[in-house]
Amino acid sequence: MEHSRHVFRIALVLVVAISAFVLLRTLFVPRTYGDYGPYRGGNVVEQAHVREPRHAGSDGCTSCHAKQAADRKTGGHKAVSCEVCHGPSGIHVQAGAVKGKMPVDRSYQLCARCHRKIEGRPEKFPQVVLDQHVPAALETGVCLQCHNPHSPKP
Amino acid sequence: MPEISGFAFPNDIHVHWSLMIVMYPYITGFVAGSFIVTSLYHVFGRQEFKPIAKLSLAASFCFLLIAGMPLQLHLGHPERGIFVMITPHFTSAMAGFGLLYTTYLVIVALEVWFVWRQDIIEAARRARGLKRSLYKAMALWTYDSSPEAQEVDHKVITVLAGIGLPMACMLHGYVGFIFGAIKANPWWSTPLMPVIFLLSAAVSGIALLSVVYQVVSKLRRAPAEEPTVSALARWLWFFLILTITLELLEIIMLAYEKDESWHIISQLLTTRLEFSFITVQMIIGGMIPLILLGIVVMANKYMAPRLRNGLTVAASLLLLLQVFSMRWNVVIGGQLLSKSLRGLRSTYNPELFGREGVLMAIALFITPFVLMFLFDRLLPIHKAGEGAVPGEAKTGSAHV
């Protein structure tokens, strides 16, 4: 035992370290951890309240963008909400005044997101093999040269 | 924009687990592999590993220190990374990391302390000023270096290494378990996965030590010990045979069973992973080292030290590549096939910059060596003059 003093010392250090860890853990672990499962229970309530709806719906666009709205009603995108392509518009207009700009995405990737040929899509859904369909270079605005996105014709 | 071939679901084409998730098992593998080598000496008494027992323990410790870094870099919310350590639980495989990692880190740190205790005491006696205070604190103000105390150290080291070895196996086995337990993905879901990960970890660890040992020997102008090099080559060959066999068995089982997933897995292996699996993992990184190490092991006694060292290092470097490609093929390969089992996406090219980029991966690989250098400055891995041949840089045998 006389020659094992260092073993007891390091064991003491270990006990102190574990105690410090347990103590610090109580400070770091959120109070609501484990309320519902192995995560912070308070997060469920926070997420429900913090994230306000950002979408305004297509009806909100009509009053200012009447022409585009009219075009959309007659074309192939009539079932596609404005915000699908333009993004959430909840903070674009508030109390009748424009509050935030809505940048317009003219990239071919936006169109390709739905219309790129993928075997997994329904057969009748309009879709193209980009390299074969586009004779020019694949660049921003290339789809808009032939298609009107508000009222696309096949 | 990734290209899609076959019948893939449109929302099924994202590689979420990036290069960092390839680096994670790669680095953890070195931890386990190096610890196996140090345990071969400390637990199983293989004297031929004595010259690298400290080196492999230091390597295991330094790689362990950064084993969590790839995960941290991958997190979208890095500030939440700490929670895996302080709120471990068993409802998800990943959340077990906190328990396994912390326990193993404590065991390795304790073993480091006991193995280097005599050196710490010597340094505390020799050093002056602040350095002396540092070493005295590290020695915990006990300076018993009597043979009886050393005997106690030896016993404790054996116990720690005895506990550490299964812990190392569990730490890396669980990394394989994370993939093996994903039942929705036929390329991952096999009980063989933890075993393959563990064996390839042993391969990567021993290969790394073979290279590092030769480099350190050159730098120290001390000849690499012939029995050590031969033993490394022998164990490396042994683990490589097991690894390649299991890796092939997994494919052969799938090919023979020909269940519904084989259609897509065979396409995956022969198209998207053709280079990284067939060329790198199986031929360049698998077959060639298997032959090279086979020559070293079977023609060992006829071999000049220079040739033995050269062949072992060459095979080890190829094996480091093999294990990396194995991690790549598992992690990335599993994300290239659609859940429909009828479509594939184009291959994944990691970015160069950025926190999940190629440069970061290289930095991650280099960091443990920097840590080893600093470790050596604080706790010398080799005693001054140990095994050195003054004025001679050639490698050779000290036990011929």
d(CA B326, CA B188): 12
What pLDDT does residue B388 have?
A: 54
Q: Hey, what are A95's tokens?
A: 């109390």
Residues of A engaging B, defined by a Cβ cutoff of 8 Å: 2-7, 9-10, 13-14, 25, 28-29, 33, 37-38, 109, 112, 116, 118-121
Phi-psi region of A100 (alpha: psi -120 to 50; beta: other; left: phi over 0): beta
Asked if residue A144 and residue A116 are part of one domain, the reply reads: yes
Q: Which residues of chain B have pLDDT under 50?
A: 390-400
Q: Residue B344's beta-bridge partner residues?
A: B5, B337
Q: Is residue B265 a contact partner of residue B337, using CB atoms and an 8 Å limit?
A: yes
A10 to B113: CB separation less than 8 angstroms, yes or no: yes
Q: Among the residues of chain B, which ranges form H helices? A: 19-42, 50-65, 69-74, 83-86, 97-115, 117-126, 129-138, 147-180, 192-220, 226-257, 262-270, 288-298, 305-331, 333-336, 358-378
DSSP string, B55-120: HHHHHHHHHHHTTTHHHHHH-SSGGGTTHHHHS--SSSSGGGHHHHHHHHHHHHHHHHHHHTHHHH
Query: pLDDT tens, A122-140?
Result: 888 999 998 889 888 888 8
Verify whether the Cβ–Cβ distance B4 to A118 is below 8 Å. yes
State residue B268's pLDDT score.
93
Contacts of B95 in chain A (CB under 8 A): 38
pLDDT for res B89: 85
The 10 Å Cβ neighbour count of residue A130 is 19
- Claim to verify: residue A74 and residue A98 sit in the same structural domain: yes
Residue B400's pLDDT is what? Answer: 28
How do residues A39-76 score in pLDDT, each as one tens digit?
899 988 888 888 777 888 888 888 889 999 999 988 88
Cα separation, B179 vs B22, in Å, equals 12
| Minimal CA separation from B204 to chain A, in Å | 31
Q: Chain A residue with minimal CA distance to B3?
A: A118
A97 falls in which pLDDT band (50, 70, 90)?
Answer: confident
The alpha carbons of chain B give a radius of gyration, in whole angstroms, of 22
DSSP alpha helix (H) spans, chain A: 5-28, 42-50, 59-62, 66-74, 82-86, 108-115, 130-133
Q: Token match 């004297």: residue? A: B47
* pLDDT value for A58: 84
Across the interface, whether the CB atoms of A14 and B89 are under 8 A apart is answered no
Cα dihedral sign, A55-A60-A65-A66: positive
Judged on CB neighbours under 10 Å (0-12, 13-18, 19+), B336 is buried
**What mean pLDDT value characterizes chain A?**
89
The total domain count for chain A is: 3
What's the domain range around A91? 54-103
B367-371 contact pairs (CB < 8 A, 24+): B367/B66, B367/B69, B368/B27, B368/B30, B368/B59, B368/B62, B368/B63, B368/B65, B368/B66, B369/B62, B371/B62, B371/B65, B371/B66
- The residue extents of the domains of chain B are 1-15+224-349, 18-181+351-382
Backbone φ and ψ for B91, nearest 5 degrees, come out as -85, -15
ipTM given for this complex: 0.80
- Partners of A13 on chain B (C-beta within 8 Å) are 140
A10: which chain B residues are within 8 Å (Cβ-Cβ)? Answer: 110, 113-114, 140
Tokens of B224: 């690499």
Rounded distance, CA B48 to CA B92, Å?
Answer: 41
| Cβ atoms within 10 Å, residue B266 | 14
CB contact B339 to A (< 8 Å): no
Query: Do A40 and A76 fall within a single domain?
Result: no
Residues A7 and A19 both lie in one domain: yes
